[in-house]
């Protein structure tokens, strides 16, 4: 766990054209405080959030699940962490930590080269992360610079991160990664390539996976624009003034990575296999979807509360819309439970969730979340966009607004607070980025659905069909 001041460690973070100290950005301070609830819950609810191994206590995210109950306990912990931020922080430390625990178990496939043993490096790094409960963020997606070329056919070297020098003590890397959520406030950065847009033969210098502290010389974190509203209070922007899960472009300019932090090098095929074969993908997906329940439940509840506030909830047509949202929520809860109940023990004896069930969640949760946002927009409509700034209640118009905005169901301030929340969730820049996050953070939704179709086991359906066609 780190405090905000510890993030002023020399890391090169840029915002709006200037190099900044992370601690000086108010919304980063607030975001880190919420992120640190991951650590606080280990103390306040240790029965769920911690476990003991060889006499040491660790966060439950690091537990390698051996039974369905282990997976369920992890699920509960993920949801409790997500509840501290209404599901709006996707990349709290539990996300990658659960992946690191599995990487440590399965690292043998990484092998070695003449300089180093990649399998041992991954194991040792994961052990260090666990013992020190480090907060890592990950950068995999490569910038889309020219789709007509293989990655190393694109000049200037910013189409990904690649080795430019191999030395006895490590590698020197340059290049870029397109978007990295939470990088400015994480401790370490894990860099690898995505499992969907695969590197091809000849892309070997881009075939890397490694970890590095954010303050490594040559690493630059260039933030997107902030989404908070400094001139307003949290009553006006209850979500965007509470946190900004900041995304950033990452540039590497001759950054030195010692061999013991390198897990794949000069190997396009291993780089393509890294995320899936390490088991990181499936176990981080389990964390991700458990968090998704929390976010969907929050958005569903906001829509229902808005309907009640505005006296719309008695209309059958509105109830039908709200029922669609609650049914969607149940489908997600049920499918994640199915992923746990129908998991299997893999060859290392790790209890592994059912990937088809988890992928079904990823394929549908974004649209369900968007549905909740749209219903909120359509129910809150003009009432929502007509809410004045909260300062008005303390100004010349305060008395008038108190009377004019008080309804048979709520006081003017209660009404304004909820409608401001509804606006922030469904319509502000913050809300739109949250929606984008749901659609894209887990990879391209088109490829997710296509893969689901290709992997689905339909032997029962085929048997029925064949019987009919035969008879």
Ligand X SMILES: Cc1cc2nc3c(=O)[nH]c(=O)nc-3n(C[C@H](O)[C@H](O)[C@H](O)COP(=O)(O)OP(=O)(O)OC[C@H]3O[C@@H](n4cnc5c(N)ncnc54)[C@H](O)[C@@H]3O)c2cc1C
Q: Please spell the DSSP secondary structure of 93-117, one letter per residue.
A: HHHHHHHHHHHHHHGGGG-B-SS-B
Which stretches of the chain bind ligand X, using CB under 6 A?
A: 138-141, 144, 179-181, 247, 433, 436-437, 440-441, 443-444, 446
CB nearer to ligand X: pick between 91 and 286: 91
Considering the complex, what minimum distance in angstroms separates the CB of residue 106 from ligand X?
21
CA distances to 136, 244, 257, 279, 334 from 132, rounded to whole Å, are 11, 25, 20, 22, 35
CB nearer to ligand X: pick between 116 and 193: 193
**144 among annotated binding-site residues:** yes
CB nearer to ligand X: pick between 140 and 384: 140
Considering the complex, what minimum distance in angstroms separates the CB of residue 461 from ligand X?
27
CB nearer to ligand X: pick between 73 and 272: 272
Which residue in the block uniquely carries the two structure tokens 């965007």? 240
Counts for the chain of helices (H) and strands (E), in that order: 15, 14
Considering the complex, what minimum distance in angstroms separates the CB of residue 44 from ligand X?
28
**139 among annotated binding-site residues:** yes
DSSP-derived letter for residue 264 is: E
What torsion, rounded to 10 degrees, do the Cα atoms 358, 128, 117, 217 define?
100
Cα–Cα distance between 65 and 414 in angstroms, integer? 44
Cα–Cα distance between 97 and 75 in angstroms, integer? 14
Considering the complex, what minimum distance in angstroms separates the CB of residue 442 from ligand X?
7
Considering the complex, what minimum distance in angstroms separates the CB of residue 411 from ligand X?
36
**396 among annotated binding-site residues:** no
**70 among annotated binding-site residues:** no
**377 among annotated binding-site residues:** no
Which residues, in sequence order, are CB contacts of 49 under 8 Å at separation 6+? Answer: 41, 42, 59, 60, 77, 80
**447 among annotated binding-site residues:** yes
Q: Are strands 209-213 and 161-166 parallel, antiparallel or unpaired?
A: unpaired
Kindly report the backbone phi and psi dihedral angles of residue 8, in degrees, each rounded to the nearest multiple of 5, phi listed first: -85, 65
**146 among annotated binding-site residues:** yes
CB nearer to ligand X: pick between 221 and 384: 221
Beta bridge partners of 46: none
CB nearer to ligand X: pick between 184 and 443: 443
Considering the complex, what minimum distance in angstroms separates the CB of residue 330 from ligand X?
26
CB nearer to ligand X: pick between 388 and 429: 429
**31 among annotated binding-site residues:** no
Residues in the chain: 471
Cα–Cα distance between 109 and 125 in angstroms, integer? 16
Which residues, in sequence order, are CB contacts of 396 under 8 Å at separation 6+? Answer: none
Considering the complex, what minimum distance in angstroms separates the CB of residue 440 from ligand X?
4
Beta bridge partners of 250: 177, 221
Residue numbering of the annotated binding site for FAD = 138-140, 144-147, 181, 444-447
């Amino acid at each position: 766990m780190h405090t905000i001041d510890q993030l002023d460690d020399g890391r090169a973070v840029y915002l709006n054209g200037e190099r900044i100290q992370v601690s000086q950005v108010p919304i980063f301070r607030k975001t880190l405080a919420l992120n640190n609830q991951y650590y606080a819950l280990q103390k306040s609810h240790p029965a769920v959030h911690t476990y003991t191994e060889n006499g040491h206590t660790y966060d439950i995210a690091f537990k390698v699940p051996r039974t369905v109950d282990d997976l369920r306990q992890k699920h509960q912990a993920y949801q409790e962490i997500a509840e501290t931020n209404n599901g709006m922080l996707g990349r709290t430390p539990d996300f990658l930590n659960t992946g690191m625990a599995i990487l440590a178990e399965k690292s043998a496939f990484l092998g070695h080269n003449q300089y180093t043993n990649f399998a041992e490096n991954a194991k040792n790094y994961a052990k260090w992360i666990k013992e020190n409960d480090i907060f890592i963020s990950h950068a995999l997606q490569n910038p889309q610079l020219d789709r007509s070329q293989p990655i190393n056919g694109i000049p200037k070297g910013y189409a990904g991160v690649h080795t430019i020098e191999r030395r006895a003590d490590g590698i020197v890397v340059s290049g870029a990664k397109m978007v990295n959520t939470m990088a400015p406030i994480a401790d370490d950065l894990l860099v690898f390539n995505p499992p969907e847009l695969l590197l091809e033969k000849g892309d070997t210098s881009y075939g890397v996976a490694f970890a590095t502290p954010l303050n490594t010389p040559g690493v630059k974190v260039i933030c997107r624009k902030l989404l908070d509203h400094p001139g307003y209070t949290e009553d006006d922007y209850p979500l965007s003034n509470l946190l900004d899960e900041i995304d950033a472009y990452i540039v590497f300019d001759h950054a030195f990575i010692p061999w013991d932090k390198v897990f794949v090098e000069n190997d396009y095929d291993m780089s393509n296999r890294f995320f899936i074969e390490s088991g990181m993908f499936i176990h981080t997906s389990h964390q991700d979807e458990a968090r998704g329940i929390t976010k969907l439940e929050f958005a569903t509840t906001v829509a229902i509360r808005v309907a009640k506030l505005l006296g719309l909830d008695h209309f059958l047509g509105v109830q039908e819309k709200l029922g669609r949202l609650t049914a969607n929520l149940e489908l997600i809860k049920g499918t994640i439970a199915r992923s746990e109940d129908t998991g299997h023990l893999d060859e290392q004896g790790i209890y592994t969730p059912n990937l088809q069930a988890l992928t079904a969640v990823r394929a549908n949760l974004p649209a369900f979340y968007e549905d909740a946002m749209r219903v909120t927009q359509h129910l809150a409509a003009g009432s929502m966009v007509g809410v004045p700034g909260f300062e008005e209640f303390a100004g010349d118009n305060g008395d008038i607004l108190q009377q004019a905005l008080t309804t048979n169901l709520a006081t003017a301030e209660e009404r304004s607070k909820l409608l401001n929340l509804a606006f922030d969730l469904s319509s502000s820049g913050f809300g739109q980025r949250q929606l984008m996050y749901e659609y894209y953070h887990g990879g391209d939704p088109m490829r997710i659905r296509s893969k689901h179709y290709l992997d689905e086991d339909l032997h029962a359906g085929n048997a029925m069909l064949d019987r009919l066609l035969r008879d």
